[in-house]
């Protein structure tokens, strides 16, 4: 009898193994068929989106129609009821599947929630609304006194102009786009929430957060913690900026809050052009170059680390430089990188001119492109060709931008003499006015506003009020004059419309980039983190490939532990800028602080 029981148990076990094997095989067949169709539709959507972003012709709706059609086809597939039901059925037995199979199925279900065909009318309406919003956003004609000007020109004026009247007109002109986007944003708020709610998500913000394996509360707490950690230094920078800008513009009174048009950036997210580091005038050197040199030098940096040359198609198909004045059409001037087919077709959309900002941006955007290239390998299924999390992608881009701006690196390129003397504190101040200033903006204003917009269903008649309340609380910035609800200043930031509920990616990426940079400088290069030269270090390249090559196949927390033996933290950023605190406290010794001690 005992022997019969053993035999029966073995037979049952063998039958179970056979069923598990058959299930895994069936799942793999489903994944392969899904992947093939997904890639084709994804590519057609990307091609249409590319056209909509690179050839904006007023009054011509052909690109809009083609984009909407392609996006609807992709949405119909990823959100199909049949696919959703199959995926859910397979995931009920995920213990019988491989980890990679489970990850791919979960990725499919996540995409389905963005456009579930259980609510097809909602999905179609949202795609139409997003396409129209993009066209309005990037087709807008910015004007001052009836004269058109580009976003590059707006940015130049806000960096360089000292006449406050000119600055005010320019800043106000930069916000006019919000008026025409307000109605579309109200519509998108509703449609984005309703589409993801159809598959069980509370709202669009929580849906986007879930890709990190986190909930909304945890994500907000993490971002607020970042703001709290950098707040003492930000408070010093805010005080410094109020007094220095009052002096620059000849104001007899130092305002308690920074007037938005005083700052050298449309949104107050980067104040670094306030400081010119003597001897480190990279703009003057780069003006002697051309835009093509800036792009080619960016590629040479990655080649020096052991990465491959960019494919010929990158140079042929990208849109890298400003359009000629007689082009007859406009394009999106916001820099971006594109993995068109999740395979070999990689591109970038930029408007490169030979200046410091675009020099850094080129290195940043190529960081994205080389991330694509690195995880396009046989070990990473097409559905998992993405960053370890979204912040990883931005962290790598920003890391390479930081590396390219450090003095030993620049000297190595013969853009500056190797023995040039510069004020290291001023260099650090300039960097802090970029990296530290960015945290209250990204982790604070943008994250809190989009949480309010989607999670709290912020009423349309409170958009501007809430926006400026967050600007005051987190940045200590106020508008030049009262801005009523006829304005929608939040919508002047492109991400609000076309990259919604994800801006915390950038905040988290800054914490990561300083963690990576600290590790590279101390453990690989044995150099001062403030004065590194990555150029030509294949060991640095190999370290980066360990982070990039797995794509989305690994848990991002485990990958971080395995590569730098740390959890996500702002400590490396604080360590990097610690030498600046003593200087700022001395500069601000007799000045009035207007931000609270603790955030």
Residue with tokens 């199909």: 80
- What pLDDT score was predicted for residue 422? 82
The neighbouring-strand residues paired with 347 are 338
- What pLDDT score was predicted for residue 15? 47
- What pLDDT score was predicted for residue 420? 80
Phi and psi torsions of 259, nearest 5°: -65, 130
Asked if 192 and 204 touch (Cβ cutoff 8 Å), the reply is yes
Q: CA nearest 260: which of 153, 155, 162, 172?
A: 172
Domains of the chain by start residue, with CATH? 1-139 (no CATH), 216-587 (1.10.1370.30)
321 φ/ψ sector (left φ>0, alpha ψ -120 to 50, else beta): beta
Quick count: other Cβ atoms within 10 Å of Cβ 132? Answer: 16
Mean pLDDT by 10 residues, the chain (599 residues): 53 58 94 98 97 89 90 94 95 95 96 93 92 91 94 94 97 97 98 95 97 96 95 97 97 97 98 88 90 98 98 98 91 92 98 94 97 98 97 96 93 86 90 96 98 98 98 98 97 95 96 97 97 97 98 95 93 94 96 95
Asked if 244 and 591 touch (Cβ cutoff 8 Å), the reply is no
**CA atoms in the 13 A half-sphere facing the CB of 9:** 6
Cα 466–chain centre separation: 23
| Secondary structure class of 478 (helix, strand, coil) | strand
Host H or E run for residue 259 = strand 258-259
Asked if 240 and 584 touch (Cβ cutoff 8 Å), the reply is yes
Residue with tokens 């199959």: 86
Host H or E run for residue 258 = strand 258-259
Q: Are strands 477-478 and 258-259 parallel, antiparallel or unpaired?
A: parallel
The neighbouring-strand residues paired with 477 are 258
Numbers of helices and strands, H then E, in the chain: 24, 6
| Beta strand spans in 341-476 (E) | 346-349
Residue with tokens 């971006």: 336
**CA atoms in the 13 A half-sphere facing the CB of 431:** 28
The neighbouring-strand residues paired with 205 are none
Tokens linked to 597: 């001690």
Tokens linked to 450: 């989009």
Tokens linked to 185: 């944003």
Cα 252–chain centre separation: 39
Q: 324: which DSSP letter? A: P
Asked if 347 and 340 touch (Cβ cutoff 8 Å), the reply is yes
Asked if 223 and 444 touch (Cβ cutoff 8 Å), the reply is yes
3-state secondary structure string across 291-327: HHHHHHHHHHHHHHCCCCCCCHHHHHHCECCCCCCCC
Q: How large is the C-alpha radius of gyration of the chain? A: 25
Asked if 109 and 118 touch (Cβ cutoff 8 Å), the reply is no
- What pLDDT score was predicted for residue 57? 87
């Amino acid at each position: 009898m005992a022997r019969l029981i053993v035999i029966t148990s073995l037979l049952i076990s063998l039958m179970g193994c056979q069923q598990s094997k058959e299930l895994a095989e069936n799942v793999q067949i489903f994944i392969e068929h899904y992947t093939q169709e997904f890639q084709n539709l994804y590519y057609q959507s990307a091609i249409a989106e590319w056209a909509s972003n690179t050839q904006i012709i007023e009054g011509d709706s052909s690109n809009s129609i083609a984009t909407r059609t392609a996006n609807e086809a992709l949405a119909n597939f990823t959100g199909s009821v049949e696919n959703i039901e199959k995926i859910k059925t397979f995931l009920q037995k995920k213990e019988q599947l491989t980890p990679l199979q489970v990850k791919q199925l979960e990725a499919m279900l996540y995409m389905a929630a963005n456009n579930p065909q259980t609510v097809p009318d909602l999905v179609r309406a949202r795609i139409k609304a997003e396409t129209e919003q993009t066209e309005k956003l990037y087709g807008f004609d910015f004007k001052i006194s009836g004269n058109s000007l580009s976003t590059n020109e707006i940015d130049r004026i806000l960096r360089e102009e000292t006449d406050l009247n000119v600055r005010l007109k320019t800043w106000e002109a930069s916000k006019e786009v919000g008026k025409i986007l307000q109605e579309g944003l109200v519509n998108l708020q509703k449609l984005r929430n309703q589409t993801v709610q159809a598959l069980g998500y509370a709202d669009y913000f929580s849906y986007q957060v879930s890709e990190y394996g986190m909930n909304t509360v945890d994500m907000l707490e993490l971002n607020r913690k970042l703001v709290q950690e950098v707040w003492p230094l930000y408070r010093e920078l805010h005080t410094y900026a109020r007094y220095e800008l009052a002096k620059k513009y000849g104001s007899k009174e130092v305002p308690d809050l920074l007037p938005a048009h005083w700052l050298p950036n449309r949104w107050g997210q980067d104040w670094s052009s306030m400081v010119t580091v003597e001897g480190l005038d990279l703009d003057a050197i780069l003006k002697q170059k051309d835009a093509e040199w800036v792009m080619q030098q960016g590629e040479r940096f990655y080649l020096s680390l052991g990465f491959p040359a960019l494919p010929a198609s990158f140079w042929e198909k990208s849109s890298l430089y400003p359009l000629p004045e007689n082009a007859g059409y406009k394009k999106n001037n916001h820099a971006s990188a594109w993995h068109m087919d999740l395979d070999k077709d990689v591109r970038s959309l930029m408007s490169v001119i030979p200046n410091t900002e675009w020099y850094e941006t080129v290195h940043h955007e190529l960081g994205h492109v080389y991330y694509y290239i690195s995880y396009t390998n046989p070990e990473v299924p097409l559905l998992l060709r993405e960053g370890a999390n979204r912040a990883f992608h931005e962290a790598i881009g920003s890391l390479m931008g930081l590396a390219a701006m450090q003095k030993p690196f620049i000297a190595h390129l013969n853009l500056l003499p190797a023995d040039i003397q510069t004020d290291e504190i001023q260099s650090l101040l300039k960097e802090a006015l970029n990296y530290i200033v960015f945290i209250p903006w990204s982790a604070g204003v943008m994250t809190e506003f989009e949480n309010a917009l989607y999670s709290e269903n912020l009423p349309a008649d409170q958009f501007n009020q809430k926006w400026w309340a967050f600007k005051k609380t987190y940045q200590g910035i106020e508008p030049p004059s009262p801005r009523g609800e006829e304005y929608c200043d939040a919508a002047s930031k492109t991400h609000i419309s076309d990259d919604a509920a994800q801006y915390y990616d950038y905040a988290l990426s800054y914490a990561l980039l300083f963690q990576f940079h600290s590790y590279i400088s101390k453990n690989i290069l044995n150099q001062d983190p403030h004065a590194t030269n990555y150029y030509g270090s294949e060991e640095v390249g190999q370290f980066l490939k360990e982070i990039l090559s797995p794509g989305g196949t690994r848990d991002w927390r485990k990958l971080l532990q395995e590569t730098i033996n740390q959890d996500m933290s702002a400590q490396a950023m604080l360590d990097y800028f610690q030498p600046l605190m003593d200087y700022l406290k001395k500069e601000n010794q007799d000045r009035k602080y207007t931000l609270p001690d603790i955030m």
